[in-house]
């Protein structure tokens, strides 16, 4: 099967390494211990530390509900255990929209739309977004109802779901529908690593796993609504897979064990050389061997230090080593990008989760100040930050997404930077806590395997890695040069 990549003119086809690219639910195709999938930056590497997997009857690969989906439907190996727009479009074309990933429950803009019509699935096909229905008002992790600090008004509803009599805010079961990208089911030891026993930004203790009593990272979901892999798996079965029965404890554990064994990262560059060549230490094997939960340190342990040796290699042999001058220039660019990520300082202003906890407004930061965990790029503290990707006035124009007006009630503090009335495409963490200060906060994501899973940000607002860098450059007026932008884009493509 052909692999689909982003090219200058859109989606283009390219043969996949090893042939198999898409794992359909229940197709029984084995998953080798190691795989490589071409992408625009070279090839993604996948490693299963548990060895090859017989997918027949495996709970991750088997339809467990009523709509034909399995976990793998939205967590594809070739897409870094997430799902790219390229794959989504390929499956639509190959199946005339009948693949289970297009199930109406959340693969459509709203379940009330005509099934099988492209317009009904436009957010998934054009932006890689699934509908996430959130009950309103929220219920806390302890099962107790939360009285929200704000009211929600639907200002614009292009999907029709938030104003629908059955699925909307005024329905018998009030629901807020937001639209988000699927997170990678890989490299999870980094996502679940607990670096502190408290939230450094607020000083509050971390939440605990209600079954084990252990602290949890709170970083699994975009809005921290689920705290453990077990809770996430059971919720996905009920919601995404529309399962009606129960999964045995043994099958549930088998699913979780598999997810914890999978590592993905860019395995080779566009010149065909492995990313652990010339002194660097890239690729999924590096991640599998690395310790999780390590905080970056600018002097001793800078972010993405595994690529810094490429700078010395390029300087010592610019025209001969590792594939020629063009490859050496690219490696030098990646190394410069790694250095920029940790050392380029700029002013961060009016950002919830950064400028709200005594750090100052503005505060001088680098990219690595918030993407703090070495080898992963997530925030070791629960990284819930309002970058402006969903809140106006900073969000990119998004007429395809719903727009909500959130009005903070009297007696409660307003949003720290946007006041008592906030316009947002996705209230984010506030849909979990009901607090005004949390409007628009989204947890940071793993930064590995990025080249295989465009588009980016939780709402898919950056179609390319260049668009991702451009957003930060505009949002914080970093004033990156053309070379610096290229260096950061090359770094992200090498991760």
Q: Where are the domains of the chain?
A: 2-136+178-262
Half-sphere exposure of 86 (CA within 13 A, CB side): 30
Q: Residue 8: pLDDT above 60? A: no
pLDDT in tens, 268-308: 999 999 999 999 999 999 999 999 999 998 888 899 999 99
How many Å apart are CA 474 and CA 479, to the nearest integer?
Answer: 8
pLDDT of residue 315: 75
Q: Residue 319: pLDDT above 90? A: no
Q: Residue 46: pLDDT above 60? A: yes
- Residue 383's pLDDT band (cuts 50, 70, 90): confident
- Residue 198's pLDDT band (cuts 50, 70, 90): confident
DSSP string computed for 116-174: T-GGGGHHHHHH--EEEEEESS-B-TTS-B---SEEEEEEE-TTS-TT-TTTSTTSSS-
pLDDT of residue 15: 37
pLDDT of residue 371: 94
pLDDT of residue 19: 58
Q: Residue 162: pLDDT above 80? A: yes
Average pLDDT of the residues in 86-98? 97
Structure tokens that stand for 241 in this block:
């897979």
How many Å apart are CA 8 and CA 2, to the nearest integer?
Answer: 18
pLDDT of residue 363: 95
Q: Residue 7: pLDDT above 50? A: no
Contact 310, 278 (CB under 8 A): yes
Other residues' Cβ atoms within 10 Å of the Cβ of residue 438 = 23
How many Å apart are CA 130 and CA 121, to the nearest integer?
Answer: 9
How many Å apart are CA 313 and CA 60, to the nearest integer?
Answer: 42
How many Å apart are CA 182 and CA 459, to the nearest integer?
Answer: 10
Q: Residue 322: pLDDT above 80? A: no
How many Å apart are CA 493 and CA 274, to the nearest integer?
Answer: 13
pLDDT in tens, 327-339: 999 999 999 999 9
Q: Is 136 exposed, middle or buried (0-12, 13-18, 19+ CB in 10 A)?
A: middle
How many Å apart are CA 305 and CA 451, to the nearest integer?
Answer: 19
Average pLDDT of the residues in 192-211? 87
Nearest by Cα to 269 from 19, 1, 43: 43
pLDDT of residue 359: 80
Average pLDDT of the residues in 15-26? 74
- Residue 4's pLDDT band (cuts 50, 70, 90): very low
What pTM, to 2 d.p., does this model score? 0.94
- Residue 153's pLDDT band (cuts 50, 70, 90): very high
- Residue 358's pLDDT band (cuts 50, 70, 90): confident
Residues with Cβ within 8 Å of residue 287, at least 6 apart in sequence: 47, 187, 190, 263, 264, 265, 375, 448
Nearest by Cα to 70 from 112, 38, 23: 23
Contact 364, 343 (CB under 8 A): no
Instruction: Give Cα separations from 412 to 150, 239, 300, 420, 434 (angstroms).
Output: 9, 33, 43, 9, 11
pLDDT of residue 11: 32
């Amino acid at each position: 099967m052909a692999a689909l990549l982003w090219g200058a003119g859109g989606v283009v086809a390219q043969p996949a390494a090893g042939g198999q690219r898409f794992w359909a639910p229940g197709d029984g195709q084995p998953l080798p211990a190691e795989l490589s999938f071409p992408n625009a930056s070279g090839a993604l590497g996948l490693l299963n530390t548990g060895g090859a997997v017989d997918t027949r009857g495996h709970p991750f690969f088997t339809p467990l509900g009523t709509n034909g989906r399995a976990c793998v439907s939205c967590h594809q190996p070739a897409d870094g255990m997430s799902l790219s727009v390229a794959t989504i479009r390929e499956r639509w074309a190959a199946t005339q929209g009948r693949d289970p990933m297009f199930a109406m429950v959340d693969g459509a803009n709203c379940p009330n739309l005509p099934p099988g019509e492209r317009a009904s699935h436009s957010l998934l096909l054009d932006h890689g977004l699934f509908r996430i229905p959130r009950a309103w008002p929220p219920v806390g992790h302890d099962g107790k109802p939360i009285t929200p600090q704000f009211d929600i008004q639907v200002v614009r509803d292009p999907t029709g779901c938030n104003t629908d009599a059955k699925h909307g805010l005024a329905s018998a079961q009030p629901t807020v529908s937001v639209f988000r990208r699927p997170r990678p089911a890989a490299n999870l030891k980094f996502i679940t690593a607990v670096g502190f026993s408290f939230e450094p930004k607020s000083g509050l203790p971390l939440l605990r796993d209600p079954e084990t009593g252990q602290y949890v990272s709170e970083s699994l979901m975009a809005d921290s609504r689920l705290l453990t892999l077990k809770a996430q798996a059971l919720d996905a079965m009920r919601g995404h897979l529309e399962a009606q029965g129960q999964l045995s404890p043994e099958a549930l554990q088998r699913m979780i064990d598999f997810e914890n064994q999978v590592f993905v990262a860019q395995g080779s560059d566009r010149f065909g050389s492995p990313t652990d060549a010339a002194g660097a230490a890239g690729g999924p094997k590096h991640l599998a061997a690395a310790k999780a939960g390590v905080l970056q340190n600018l002097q001793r342990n800078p972010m993405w230090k595994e690529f810094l040796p490429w700078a010395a290699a390029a300087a010592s042999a610019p025209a001969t080593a590792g594939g020629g001058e063009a490859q050496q220039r690219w490696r030098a660019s990646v190394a410069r990008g790694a250095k920029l990520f940790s050392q380029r300082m700029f002013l961060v202003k009016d950002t919830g989760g950064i400028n709200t906890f005594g750090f100052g407004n503005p505060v001088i930061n680098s990219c690595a100040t918030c993407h703090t965990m070495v080898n992963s790029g997530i925030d070791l503290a629960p990284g819930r930050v309002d970058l402006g990707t969903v809140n106006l006035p900073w969000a990119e124009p998004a007429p395809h997404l719903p727009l909500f007006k959130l009005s903070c009630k009297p007696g409660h503090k307003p949003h720290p930077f946007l006041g008592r009335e906030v316009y947002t495409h996705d209230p984010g963490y506030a849909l979990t806590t009901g607090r005004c200060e949390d409007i628009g906060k989204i947890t940071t994501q793993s930064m590995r395997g990025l080249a295989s899973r465009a588009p980016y940000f939780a709402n898919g607002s950056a179609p390319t890695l260049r668009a991702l860098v451009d957003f930060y450059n505009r949002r914080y007026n970093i004033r990156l040069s053309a070379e610096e932008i290229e260096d950061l884009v090359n770094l992200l493509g090498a991760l």
